Chains A and B, each alone.
Chain A
Amino acid sequence: MKPPPFDYHAPRDLGEALAVLAETGEHGKVLAGGQSLIPLLNMRLAAPGHLVDINRIDPLDTLTATAEGVTVGALARHSRVERSSEAAAAQPLLRQALRLVAHPVIRNRGTVVGSLVHADPAAEMPAVLALLGGSVRLARADGPAREVAAADFFTGPLESALRPGELAVSAFFPALPPRSGTAFREFARRHGDYALAGIAALVTLDEAGAVGAVKVACIGVGATPIVLDLTGVEPDAVAHAVRGRIEPEADIHASADYRRHLAGVLAARAVDEANGEARRAFDHAGR
C-alpha cells in the first residue's frame, strides 16, 4: 500500500499551477485534500506521473456568500464551509449536506471542490450542486476559464467534465430562493460512510403559500446524481414517484430493490422536511 513513483509539484500561485498542469497534461493530477486521491494512489488504483499539490496557493482558499449564492474556492475545506453561518444563511443545504460527509477529521482536510471533481456517485456535494443548478469554474493556462453547469459537469461514476490541464478553481452554489426550504436525508451503514442512498430536496412555495416546485437529487442510486422534478406529486406519492424513476444497481452492501425502496423512503422524508422549512420561511417572510 505504497504509491507508485510520481513527481511532486508544489506551485506557489495559480499561474504556476496551471503551467505545470498544462505541461503534464493527462499525466498530471491535482492534489487537494488528498482524502480520496491518496487512498487511490496507495492502493495503486491510480498512477499519475505528476502530482500538483495546490495546498500552498492561498488565493484558492476562499468562501464568499452573496445574495446570489455561495462561491467556494478550491482550497475551502468541507469543515470551513460547514461552519460558515454566512454560507448557511445563503444556502442552508450546504451545511445540511456537509454534516453527512464523512467524519470531522476528513472534513478538516477534504475540499468541497475536490469532492465535486472526484464525482463519487454516492457523494453529497455533487447532488447539492446538481439540485441547485450550480456550476464549477475550470481554469487552464492556454485559454480562458470556463464555467460548467452541474448538469454537464457530472459525466459518470468518478468522472467529470474536467479536462487534462484544467484546474477547478471554484464552485458556485445558487442561494436559496424565497419561500423555499431544503433537506438532506441519507442512509449509511456506518456513521459517516458514503450513503447507500440519499436524497437532497428543495421545495418552493408559491406566493399563496401552496407548494410550488419540488425537486430532489438522489445519490447512490445511479452513475451520477439524479435530479428529479416532483412538482405536482402528492406527498404520499413521492416515494413511489422516485422509485419509478431510478435504476439503482446492487452491490455488496445492498440489493437494487432495497436501494430503490430506500430512495423512496428517504425522498418522502426529505421532501416533508424541506416542505416544513419552506413553510417556516414563508411564515417568517409573511410576518
Chain B
Amino acid sequence: MTTKLFGEPVQRREDPRLLTGQGRYLDDLGPGALAAAFVRSPHAHARIRDIDVSGALDVEGLVAIYTWEDLPGRAGQPLPLLIPHPALTHGRTAYPLAKDVVRHVGEPVVMVVARDRYLAEDACALIEVDYEFLKPVVGVEEALRSGNLVHEDVPDNVGAHMVQEVPSADGRGAAEAIEAAPYSLEFRLDIERSASMPLEGRGVYARWDADDHSLRVYSSTQTSTSVRMAIAATLGLPLPKVEVIAPDVGGGFGVKIMHPWPEEILVPWAAITLGREVKWTEDRREHFISSAHERAQVQQVKVGFDGEGHVLGLDVTILHDHGAYTPYGIIVPIITSTQLLGPYRIGAYRVEFSSVYTNTVQVTPYRGAGRPQGVFCMERTMDHISRHLGLDRAAVRAANFIQPDEFPYDQGMIFQDGRPLIYDSGDYPESLRMLKELIDWDGFPARKAEAAARGRRLGIGIGCYVEGTGVGPYEGGHVQVTSDGRVHVSTGLTSQGQGHETVFAQIAASELGVPLERVSVVTGDTRRFGYAVGTFASRAAVMSGNAIALACRKVREKALRIAADALEADPRDLSITDGVVHVAGDPRASIPLATVAVLSNPLRYAFDEEAKRATQFAGGGSADRPPIEEGDEPGLEGREYYSPIRSTFASGMHAAIVETDPDTAEITILRYAVVHDCGNLINPMIVEGQIHGGVAQGVGGALYERMVYDQHGQLLNASFMDFLMPYVTEVPAVETAHLETPSPLNPLGIKGAGEAGVIPVSAVIASAVEDAEDFPIDRMPLSPSELFDLRSRHGTG
C-alpha cells in the first residue's frame, strides 16, 4: 500500500455538490410527475364511520382519490413487522391507509393524486371524514393505568415485556446483591420524546414502464434494497422488474431506516394503476405527525454499591413508550437494556422493560437508538453513587471500568443482533485520562470557586458510553477497474451525507494503489448492487468499508496475476502505485492498471486502440488454454461480502462545563469535550464531523427538543417554530481527542462512528447542571423554565 489515503483527513468529495445546491434530492426529481397528498387523521383515536369525497371531485386537476377499500391484495394488509421477537407478543402495525380505526394524529386515511401538490392539498381539504371518537391514551403510565386501549386486543396496552438477568460472579441475582450491598439507592428517571428530524423529509417518486412492465422507484430512504423487496412482495411484481434508488438524501438519522412507509407502497401502486409518474414529498408537518419519534422512557432504578462506588447490583425497570405501532419491533428498548451497561463491569444486573402502546406517533430508532436513554440511566446512577458517597464522579466511574486486559469481555446478555454482548476491544481508563486532561477535570473545582466568588454558577459533567456498532448480517462491495483505468465502487447501503463517497474511495484507493480522483462510488442504487441491509447502527464504514476492502483485495490479486503474466515477473514482486503496476527493483518494468483491465477481458472486437491488445490475433495467452481459465471471469472486478460474527464496540467519554444564570435560569454550555474511540480512523475529519453533528443533536435532546402532546393526543409543537431544534448559535464548539483501539473483528480494524456524538449528551448536561445547582437532575430535556421550577422546589431560587 504505497498510496497512503486510509487515515488521512481527505476533504469530503460530496461537499462541492451538496454545498452548492447541485445535490439531487427526492423532490428535485420528476418535475412533471403527478403529486400525491394525504388526508391524515386529526384525531388521536377514532373510528372511521364514513369518508365523503364528493366535495373534492370538482377540484380542477384532480386525478384520483384512494381509500383503504381501493387497495388490492397485500397492499390492503397491515404493513410488515420488520423485526419480530419472541418477547413482542402483541406486535401491531398500521395499514397503508387506515382501515377502520385511526390510532394517532397524522395517520394517513385518504390518498389524493392531482396535477400538482397545491391542487392535491385543495382536494384533501374538501374531503370529509366522519369519525367516532375513541378515548385516547397518552403517556406510558396513563397507558397502563387508564383502562383505555390503543388496540382492542392488546391488554393493558403492553406490546412486549422482557426481562434479562445477569447474575453476579458469585451467583447472586440483582435483588439479592442490592439487598446485601453496604449502600443502596432508588430513584426514577424520565426522558422525553424527540425525533430524527432530518432537514429533508421522506419522499417517494415512482415511474412505471407499462411496455416493459418495470417499476423504478426513488425513495429518500436508508435502505433501497429492502424497500425494493417490500414493494415487489406487496405489489406482486417480479423482483428483477423493480429498481429502487436512494438519490441524495438530506439526512436520515434513523427515521428513514423504517420502511416500507405507507407512501413507499402507495405511490408506486398509484403510478402503476394510473400509468403515470407519481411523486410525494413529505412536508414538515407531516414529518412531525406521520413518521416516527423516539426516546421517551420512564426508568425505575435500584442500585447497590460498596464504599468505593463499585456497583454490586443494578435493577432497572423501564416503561418504553412505543407510540401506536411497533413496525420496527422492540429494538430500541433492547438496545437501552443492553447498552446501559456501558464501559462498566458491574455485579448483578436485572433489566425489565414493558413496551407500551399510546395514541401517538410510532417509535422507531433515532440516532443513538435507545442508547441515550440507557447511558442516561447508568451515568445518572454513577452520579447518584458519587454524591451519596461524596466521591469524585470520575473516580467512581473508573472504579467500575472493564480493564484493557479483560477483552474480549462478555456482558452475559444478548445484543440487538441476536448475538452475545461481547465487547471486542477498548481502553476505558486511557479514555478517561485523556478526557480529564482535555477538560482539565482536576482544575475545575478551583475554576468553579473562582466563578462563584464573582456570582457565577458553573458546573462540570461527565458521561461514558459503549456503542455496539457495525451490526450484521452483512454488506457487500463491488469494485471494477475499467479499461480507462477508472475504478468503480458500489455498495448496496445508502448515504445520507455522512461522507461515504469519500471514505469508501479512500479505502479503495489505498487498497488498489490508485489516485483518489480515479475512484467513483455509488451507494443505494439497486441497479448497481442488489444485496444490502442498510445504513443504521453506525454500520456503513464497518460493513461496507470492509466489504469494499475485501473486494479490492480480490481485484488487486487478479491484477497482479495478469500483470505478472504480461511483465513475465513473479506476482510477489509487484506493487501498484498511482495506478501503475511496478516490478520491484526494475523501474522500467511496469504496466498501467488500465492495460491490465484491457488484458483481463479477452476480446473478439477491438472497440478502441487500447482494446486491440486483448483481441485474438494480438499474441497474448497460451494456445493450449482457454482464454478464460476455469473458475475465472472476464474483467478486472470483484465482489465480496463482509459478514461479522457479531458487533464491534466503539466507546467514548464526554465532559461539559455549563453555566447556569442565577436569575434567568438560562443554561449555557461553555465547553464541550469528547474523547472518542472508533478503532482505526479512516478519515479523522469525517469522524469529527460526525461527532459534531451528533453532539448538536444531543444538545437538542438535552436542552431544547421535546414532543409536547396534550391529553387528547394532539402534538402541540409540530413545527420548527415550537419544536426547538437548536441553531448553530446554541451548539457549543466541540473539542475532540481520538483514541484508536483497533477492532480485532474486521480486516480494517474499524468501529462505527455515526451515532457516537449524540449518545451521552443528556447524561453529561444533567451531570453538569446538577453540579452547578447542587440538586439532582433526573429528567431530560431541561428548559430554563423547568430549572427555575426546580430551584423553587429545592428552595434555592
* Given A253-B783, A258-B788: A43 and B285 interface contact (C-beta under 8 Å): yes
* Residues on B with beta carbons closer than 8 Å to the beta carbon of A255: 785, 788-789
Query: Cβ of A5 < 8 Å from any Cβ of B?
Result: yes
Asked if A189 contacts B122 (CB within 8 A), the reply is: no
Is A237 in the interface zone, CB < 8 Å from B?
no
A2/B121 contact (C-beta < 8 A), A190-B724, A191-B729 known:
yes
C-alpha gap A45/B364 in the complex (Å): 30
B80 within 8 A of A: no
Q: Indicate if the CB atoms of B121 and A189 lie closer than 8 Å.
A: no
- Chain A residues closer than 8 Å to B118, beta-carbon distance: 2-3, 5
Stretch at the interface among B291-299, B552-560, B659-667, B756-764: B659-667
Is residue B93 contacting chain A, with contact meaning CB distance below 8 A? Answer: no
Contact with B along A2-20 (1 / 0, CB 8 A): 1111000000000000000
Q: Report how far A5 CA is from B789 CA in the complex, Å.
A: 46
**CB proximity of B796 to chain A, nearest CB, Å:** 14
Known: A252-B708, A253-B783, A262-B664. A190 touches B730 (CB 8 A): yes
Contact of B727 with A by CB under 8 A? yes
CB distance from A120 to the nearest CB of B (A): 11
> Which residues of chain A from 4 to 59 have any CB-CB distance to chain B below 8 Å in the complex?
4-5, 39, 43-44
Quick check: A261 and B717 within 8 Å, CB to CB?
Answer: no
Query: Distance (Å) between the CB of B718 and the closest chain A CB?
Result: 10
B428 at the A interface (CB under 8 A): no
* Interface membership of A187, Cβ < 8 A: yes
User: Given A1-B284, A187-B666, A192-B727, does the pair A258, B784 have CB atoms closer than 8 Å?
Assistant: yes
Could you tell me if B729 and A192 are in contact, using CB atoms closer than 8 angstroms?
yes
Q: A67 at interface (Cβ–Cβ under 8 A)?
A: no
A258, B665: Cβ atoms closer than 8 Å:
yes
Report chain A residues within 8 Å CB of B789: 255, 257-258
> Among the interface residues A1, A5, A191, A193, which one has the most CB atoms of the partner chain B within 10 A?
A1
Docked complex Cα distance between A254 and B704 (Å): 12
**Is A191 within 8 A of B727, CB to CB?**
yes
Q: Is the CB of A43 within 8 A of B719?
A: yes
Size range of the chain B interface in the assembly: 20 to 34
Interface mask (B777-788 → A, CB under 8 Å = 1, otherwise 0): 000000111001
In the complex where A2-B117, A4-B122 touch, is A189 in contact with B783 (Cβ < 8 A)? yes
Is B729 a contact of A190 with CB atoms below 8 Å? yes
In the assembled complex, the CB of A143 is this many whole angstroms from the nearest CB of chain B, namely 37
Residues of A within 8 A of B788 (CB): 255, 257-258, 261
**Min C-beta distance of A42 to chain B, whole Å:** 8
- How many angstroms from the CA of A235 to the CA of B278 in the assembled complex? 66
**Measured between alpha carbons, how far is A265 from B788 in the docked complex, in Å?**
13
What 0/1 readout, one digit per residue, does chain A (237-266) give for beta carbons within 8 Å of chain B? 000000000000000111101100110011
Report yes or no: B716 in contact with A252, Cβ–Cβ below 8 A. Answer: yes
Asked if A4 contacts B785 (CB within 8 A), the reply is no
The answer to whether A252 and B125 have CB atoms under 8 Å apart is no
Q: A179-209: which residues lie under 8 A (CB-CB) from chain B?
A: 187, 189-193, 196
B285 touches A1 (CB 8 A): yes
Task: Report how far A193 CA is from B721 CA in the complex, Å.
Answer: 8
Give B73 Cβ to nearest chain A Cβ, in Å: 33
Q: How far is the CA of A89 from the CA of B90 in the complex (A)?
A: 70
Partner of B722, one of A187, A253, A266: A253
CA distance A22 to B118 in the complex (A): 28
Q: What is the bound-complex CA distance between A44 and B665, given in angstroms?
A: 36
CA separation between A5 and B284, bound complex, in Å? 20
Q: Chain B residues near A257 (CB, 8 Å)? A: 788-789, 792
**Residues from chain A with Cβ under 8 Å of B121 in the complex:** 2, 4, 44
Q: Are A265 and B729 in contact (CB under 8 A)?
A: no
Q: Considering the complex, give the chain A residue whose CB is closest to the CB of B710.
A: A252
Chain A residues lying within 8 Å of B663, measured Cβ to Cβ, are 265
Known: A1-B285, A255-B789. A44 touches B727 (CB 8 A): no
B666: chain A residues within 8 A (beta carbon): 187
Q: Which of A2, A5, A192, A258 contacts B785 (CB 8 A)?
A: A258
Interface residues of B in 502-561 (CB under 8 A from A): none
- A221 CB to closest chain B CB, in angstroms? 13
Query: In the assembled complex, how far is the CB of residue A46 from the closest CB belonging to chain B, in whole angstroms?
Result: 14
Residues of A within 8 A of B284 (CB): 1
Per the bound structure, the CA–CA distance linking A43 and B666 in Å amounts to 31
Indicate if B283 sits at the interface (CB-CB under 8 A): yes
- Contact (Cβ within 8 A) A254 B783: yes
Q: Other than the known A189-B783, A196-B785, what 14 A-B pairs have Cβ atoms closer than 8 Å? A: A1-B284, A2-B117, A2-B118, A2-B121, A5-B118, A43-B285, A190-B724, A190-B729, A190-B730, A191-B729, A252-B708, A252-B722, A253-B785, A257-B792
Those 5 A-B pairs whose CB atoms lie nearest each other, nearest first: A191-B729, A1-B283, A254-B785, A258-B785, A265-B663
Some 19 contacts from A to B, beta carbons below 8 A apart, are: A3-B118, A43-B285, A44-B125, A187-B664, A187-B784, A189-B724, A189-B784, A190-B724, A190-B726, A192-B727, A193-B724, A252-B708, A252-B722, A253-B722, A255-B785, A261-B788, A262-B664, A265-B663, A265-B664
